[in-house]
Amino acid sequence: MAPLSQAEASQYMYAARAGKYEDSWHPHYAERFVRIVNPHPGQRILDLCCGTGLELFVLAEALNKDGQHGDGGAVIGVDVTVEMLAVAAERQKARPELADRVQLLHHDVTHLETLGTKMSTSSAGSTAAPAPFEKHSFDTIVCSNAFVLFDDPDAVVAGWRQFLKPPVYTAATHSSTDSHEGHESHRGLHHHEPGGKLVIDIPHEAAQRSGITMERVARRLGLVFPSNRSWVTSVNSFRDVLERNGYRVERVVELDHISGKGASHYTAYQADELYDTLTKSSAFEAMVAGAGPGVERETVVRHGKPIFREEFMRDAGDDGCVFVSDTMYVYVARIEA
Ligand SMILES: C[S@@+](CC[C@H](N)C(=O)[O-])C[C@H]1O[C@@H](n2cnc3c(N)ncnc32)[C@H](O)[C@@H]1O
């Protein structure tokens, strides 16, 4: 068996989590995230990796603010895991007043250019493949709690750029009256529309520590853990990714107390306990599934434990404690003019 692709590993992991995904800090976080997105009625919004639709429906509510109909805007959610989309579809049924604003699509968001082929399906149950997205057609693209699942962050943001509305500069000509020379024109004044915005969150480099440590364990065992946070070393890491792919970062908001716990520390003694918990997660199962049929789960568990301990302690300070952040960085960016 070939190793699982990123999309396959995510499907494996989230199919198992879909039923209980919302028994977590995610619903409250979605509200905080959408406040930063600040959507307005009339906008077209693309929610990539929409999952069970948590932020999707908060966005749709904002478009519906004045009970508008007609051109009140639309939110399109795209996700690769059928089981997550099924929960979103249930929510869509339960909110008929928002249903005409929301569309759900089953597709790999790292290949939006193939939307419209037979691999994409729409939640409406239609057998017809949804139409490909028009270029430069979205006011806002969001991706929450998912970006660090992707293998190649640069390629992903570079690919999404073509779907955002670009900034527009309008050359304006103003006339004024001069008492001696009559009308005078002033050329070269520019009216500027900032274009669409991209809003993406990335966990702080010291958040969700056990996952980062398990990524390193997987690498040392020649396996693949279904997340990729190796490139996140500071608040500037994702800013750099955006800037080298043609975006201007408008602001970065640091949202604290994501899980409600706040910043804390682990001690060295907790490494084994964290490891045991993580080996019961769907992320660990996805890692083992990707290893192929010759690899026994119990062998991976046994070999991984001392490596986890060692990698975990590499993050410890002089006091032997490992700092754990409870912060998410939220980036708001637009296409660089
Ligand atoms: C942690 S959930 C986030 C869901 C939602 N955005 C939220 O914040 O509650 C991550 C989602 O990313 C989706 N996902 C991961 N890789 C994907 C890909 N390549 N294409 C589409 N969806 C993907 C998973 O199926 C899962 O639903």
Q: Which helix (H) or strand (E) holds 273?
A: helix 271-278
- The residue whose CA has the least distance to atom 9 of ligand 1 is 54
In this prediction, residue 192 carries a pLDDT of 81
Mean pLDDT estimate for the chain: 90
The rounded distance, in Å, linking the Cα atoms of 219 and 278 is 16
pLDDT bracket for residue 304 (50, 70, 90): very high
Q: Which atom of ligand 1 is the closest one to the Cα of 22?
A: 9
Span of 60-64, 79-83, 249-253 with lowest mean pLDDT: 60-64
**Is residue 182 scored above 60 in pLDDT?**
no
Complete domains list, the chain, with CATH? 6-164+194-202+229-257+327-335 (3.40.50.150)
The rounded distance, in Å, linking the Cα atoms of 11 and 3 is 14
Judge if the beta carbon of residue 84 lies within 6 A of ligand 1. Answer: yes
Mean pLDDT, range 137-161, rounded to an integer: 98
pLDDT bracket for residue 260 (50, 70, 90): very high
In this prediction, residue 66 carries a pLDDT of 64
> Over the stretch 208-217, which tens digit does the pLDDT of each residue have?
999 999 999 9
Residues 6 or more apart whose Cβ sits within 8 Å of residue 319:
none
Strand partners, 334: 197, 248
Ligand 1, pocket-test mutation among 29, 49, 78, most atoms within 8 A of CB: 49
pLDDT bracket for residue 180 (50, 70, 90): very low
CA of residue 265 to ligand 1 center, whole Å: 28
Judge if the beta carbon of residue 330 lies within 6 A of ligand 1. Answer: no
Residue appearing with tokens 């997987």: 218
> Over the stretch 2-33, which tens digit does the pLDDT of each residue have?
678 999 999 999 999 999 999 999 999 999 99
pLDDT bracket for residue 118 (50, 70, 90): low
- The residue whose CA has the least distance to atom 27 of ligand 1 is 51
Judge if the beta carbon of residue 123 lies within 6 A of ligand 1. Answer: no
In this prediction, residue 104 carries a pLDDT of 96
Strand partners, 138: 164
The rounded distance, in Å, linking the Cα atoms of 67 and 87 is 25
**Is residue 69 scored above 60 in pLDDT?**
no
**Is residue 150 scored above 80 in pLDDT?**
yes
Ligand 1, pocket-test mutation among 4, 6, 10, most atoms within 8 A of CB: 10
**Is residue 125 scored above 90 in pLDDT?**
no
Judge if the beta carbon of residue 200 lies within 6 A of ligand 1. Answer: no
DSSP 8-class letter at 133: P
Strand partners, 48: 78
Mean pLDDT, range 67-77, rounded to an integer: 75
